[in-house]
Amino acid sequence: MSLDPRLSQRVARVVLWAMTVVTVAVLLFIIFFILRRGLPAISLDFLTKNPVDMGKGGGIFSTILGTVVLTALAILIATPLGVGTAIFLTEYTWENTVTRVIRFGAECLAGIPSIIFGLFGFILFVTKLGFGWSILSGGLTLAFMLLPTIIRTSEEAIKSVPSAYRQVSFSLGGTKWQTVTRVVLPSALPGIVTGIILSIGRSIGETAATIFTAGSALRIPTSLFSSTRTMSVHFYILAREGISMSRAYGTAAVLIIAILAVNVATYYLMNRFIKKYS
C-alpha cells in the first residue's frame, strides 16, 4: 500500500517539524534551567573574587582563569598539529594505506571517552614525565583529546576548496606551499575555525580529562607547572561534595554564557573575514 504523495509530504513535514521543535525545546529547557538557578548567584564579586573555604564562600575567579589558561594552551598546541596533519593528508600525499591508517587512528581517538585521556595524561605527563598536576599536563592532555576533531574538520574544510583554485595558483607559478597558504587555507578557514570553536567548547566543558591532569587547586596559577581547577571541575566538586548548590549553578551559568560568547564572537569575526575574501 502506498500513501498518497501529497499526504506523505504533509506527514513528513509535520514529523520533521516536530523533531526540530523537540530538539530546540530540550536545548532551551537546559539553558533556562541552569540560568534560572545560576544567574542569582552571579555578581561582580562572584566573577572577580577567589573561592574561600573550599568554595563555600568567595567567587570563582581562579577557576575562570584556570579554564581560560588550560583551554588556550590546549588550542595553541592542538591547532598547529591538527591543521598541519590535515594539510599533509590532503595536499602533500596521495590517498594510500598510510593516510587511511592515520585517518582511522584519528577517528578511533575521537571515540575514546575523555576519562581515558585523563588516565593517559595522568600516567604520561603527571607521573612519567614528572609535570605533576599542572596546567602543562592538563593542556597537553586536552590537546590530544581535541586533535581528532581538529584534523577531521580541517580536512573536510580543505577538501571542499575547489580544486580549480589550486590549478589556478599552480598555473600562475605558485609553489605547493604558496598555494596552500595563499589559496587553500584562506578558503578553508571558515571550516577550520568551526572545528576550533567546537574544540574550545569541548575543552571548556571537559571535566574528566582535566581533573586527573590539572588537579583541583583553588589558588591562582603562577606558572605552567601550577595545578589549577577549571570551572567544570569546580562545579563537579561543589555539587558532588554538597558544598554549595547555588554556587555550583552559578558556575554552570558562567560556563554556558562563556561558551555562547565564544561562539558569537567567533562567528562575528568570521563573517568579517569572509566578507573580505569574497
Contacts to other proteins by CB under 8 A: 94, 162, 164-175, 178, 182-183, 186-187, 277-278
User: Minimum Å distance from CB 276 to other proteins?
Assistant: 9
User: Minimum Å distance from CB 265 to other proteins?
Assistant: 23
Nearer of residues 183 and 208 to other proteins, judged by Cβ: 183
Dist CA 153 CA 82 (whole Å): 9
C-alpha cell, 227: 595545578
Name the 3-class secondary structure at 225. coil
Q: Which amino acid is at 158?
A: I
User: Minimum Å distance from CB 271 to other proteins?
Assistant: 15
Find out whether 60 and 47 touch, Cβ atoms under 8 Å: yes
Nearer of residues 36 and 182 to other proteins, judged by Cβ: 182
Nearer of residues 94 and 240 to other proteins, judged by Cβ: 94
Nearer of residues 44 and 164 to other proteins, judged by Cβ: 164
Nearer of residues 56 and 182 to other proteins, judged by Cβ: 182
Q: What are the phi and psi torsion angles at 51 (to 5°)?
A: -65, 145
User: Minimum Å distance from CB 156 to other proteins?
Assistant: 18
Nearer of residues 8 and 167 to other proteins, judged by Cβ: 167
Q: How many CA atoms lie within 13 A of 222 on its CB side?
A: 1
Dist CA 190 CA 268 (whole Å): 11
| Contact partners, residue 144, CB within 8 Å, separation at least 6 | 78, 109, 117, 120, 121
User: Minimum Å distance from CB 190 to other proteins?
Assistant: 11
Cell numbers 573575514 correspond to what residue? 273
Please, what is the Cα angle at 153 between 202 and 113, to 5 degrees? 40
User: Minimum Å distance from CB 173 to other proteins?
Assistant: 4
